[in-house]
Amino acid sequence: MLVRAFELKTELEEWIVLQGPQMQVLRINSTEWRQVRYITKLLEPFKMYTEALDATSEPTINKGWIVYNELYDHLENQRQQARQSGLPFTAALCDAINAAKKKLSEYYKKTAGKKGTLYNLGCILDPATKLSLYKICVVHSNTLF
């Protein structure tokens, strides 16, 4: 919805003006539009992975760790960029990114224990990753929890 709102930015602003003074409270200022754009960019990888995994009819358990690691790295990179950006909404954005990282870590932790056996087998049996994925996971194990 945010992507579509950003695409229709001009039309939305014109519509609000046509509606009269009572609708001016709905007007989005330039800082808020920047925030909308930033959030849509932040969420793009989540959309991409969701659509890609949803579109396949193959088992995807072997992709779990890869997706979690990619998304976690993306959130961390975005948090660092936000801190350096000096945007007026940096604090709120960093809080949201931290909350997203916390939620992602909760899901990642579910790949351990008995369920972890399934993830391990899925990765080992995947001809594309085999055991190479474990080299990546060792690096991330210190940052995910």
Is 36 part of any domain? no
How far from 74 is each of 40, 42, 124, CA to CA, in Å? 13, 8, 25
Is 28 part of any domain? no
Number of neighbours of residue 129 by Cβ within 10 angstroms: 17
Portion of the chain with pLDDT greater than 90, in percent = 39
Task: State which residues form the domain around 98.
Answer: 44-144
Q: Considering its fold, how many domains does the chain have in total?
A: 1
> In this predicted structure, what is the pLDDT of residue 94?
92
Residues 118-134 pLDDT 10s: 777 877 887 777 777 67
Q: What's the predicted TM-score (pTM) here?
A: 0.74
Q: In terms of Cα–Cα distance, which of 42, 36, 32, 30 is closest to 79?
A: 42
Is 65 part of any domain? yes
Q: Is the pLDDT of residue 137 over 60?
A: no
Q: Is the pLDDT of residue 138 over 70?
A: no
Is 54 part of any domain? yes
How far from 70 is each of 19, 37, 54, 95, CA to CA, in Å? 44, 21, 17, 20
What confidence tier does 145 reach under pLDDT thresholds 50, 70, 90?
Answer: very low
Is 117 part of any domain? yes
On the CB side of 43, CA atoms within 13 Å amount to 13
